[in-house]
Structure 1
Amino acid sequence: TPPLPLWLAYWSPCSCWGLLVAAQDKYTTKFDSVNLDDILSNDRLLNKYAQCLLDADDRNCTPDAKELKRAIPDALTNECAKCSEKQKAGTEKVAKFLLEKKPDLWKQLEAKYDPNGEYRKRYDDRIKKLKS
C-alpha cells in the first residue's frame, strides 16, 4: 500500500518517499513518476535524499525531496490521508527497504521526525508487518 524521496509518513517516520507536497486535501502527484527502485539501488542517490531529509535547511534538496520534506510532518500526523494510492505503495516499499537494508538511516529519520516515539507507537503494527 514508496519512489525514493518519500519516506516517513504513512508507515512511520522514515518511510514517506511516496508522498510529496501538500495541497489542501491531497499531496501533489507531480513527482509520482520518480523511480524508487533506481534511487534505492543507488547509494549515491539515496544518500542525497537522506541528506536533504535530515538537514535543517533545503540547500541540498532536489525539488521532489524538498516537497517530501515539507509533507512528512503532516503525513505522519494524518496517517497519509492526503496520499494517493501510488504514494502509499511507494511509502511501504521505501519503509521495507530501509528497515531491512538501511536500519541506521531509518533510525536517523525516526530521531528527526519522531523524537518522542509518538508515531512509532501509532504505526508499530504496520512496521512489524514490513519486517516480517
Structure 2
Amino acid sequence: MKVLILLTFVVLASARPDNHYDKKYDNFKVDELVSNSRLLKAYALCFLGRSKCTPEGHDIKRWIDEGTETRCAKCTPKQKVLVAKFIKALMEHCPEEWELLQKRSDPEGKQTDELKKFLDEFAP
C-alpha cells in the first residue's frame, strides 16, 4: 500500500507543470513599475541586495541568475514580456543599477547577444 501511495505521489508530482515560475506574476503591473523611476530604482536596489525587497521583488530576485542564463526559459510568455519591459526601463532610467545588475548576473558578458535578442523579441 505504501508503494502505491508513493507511486501515486510521484506520478502527480511529475504531471504538475513545474517548468514555469509562479504564474501569479503573469499579471504583475509592470507598466506602473516602469513609469515610476523611484519604484524602478527601489526594485533594482532590491535585486542588488542594497535595500529591502517587496514580496514580489524577493521572489523575482531568486530567479534573476537562472533567467539570465536560460533566456527566461521558465518564464511564461506573459512573464517574458514583463521581464523585457522591466530590463528596458532599467537600461533607460537606471543605467548605473542596470550595469551593476548585469555585472552581477553575467560578469563576463556571455549573455549580451542573447539578451539583445530577448529584448528585441519580447519588448520591441
Global fold match (TM > 0.5): yes
Aligned letter for 1:43? S
Q: Is it true that 1:93 corresponds to 2:82 in the alignment?
A: no
Work out the percentage of aligned pairs sharing the same amino acid.
34
Aligned letter for 2:75? C
Aligned ranges 1:1-132 → 2 under 5 Å: 24-55=18-49, 60-126=52-118
Structure 2, unpaired ranges of 5+: 1-16
Q: Count how many residue pairs are aligned between Structure 1 and Structure 2.
A: 108
| Distance (whole Å) between structure 2 residues aligned to residue 28 and residue 43 of structure 1 | 26
Aligned letter for 1:61? C
**Which aligned segments of 4 or more residues in structure 1 are displaced greater than 6 angstroms?**
none
RMSD, matched Cα: 2.7
Residues 64, 30 of structure 1: alpha-carbon distance in 2 compared, 3 angstrom cutoff: same
Q: Cα distance, 1:122 vs. partner?
A: 3.5
| Distance (whole Å) between structure 1 residues aligned to residue 42 and residue 116 of structure 2 | 27
Q: Cα distance, 1:124 vs. partner?
A: 4.1
* Higher RCO by CA contacts (8 Å cutoff, separation 6 or greater): 1
Which is helix-richer, 1 or 2? 2
Q: Deviations over 1:31-71 (max 9, x none)?
A: 23221111112122112211110017xx7111111111101
Partner SS, residue 42 of structure 2: helix
| Distance (whole Å) between structure 2 residues aligned to residue 124 and residue 38 of structure 1 | 23
User: TM-score, normalised on structure 2?
Assistant: 0.71
Aligned letter for 1:86? K
| Distance (whole Å) between structure 2 residues aligned to residue 47 and residue 102 of structure 1 | 6
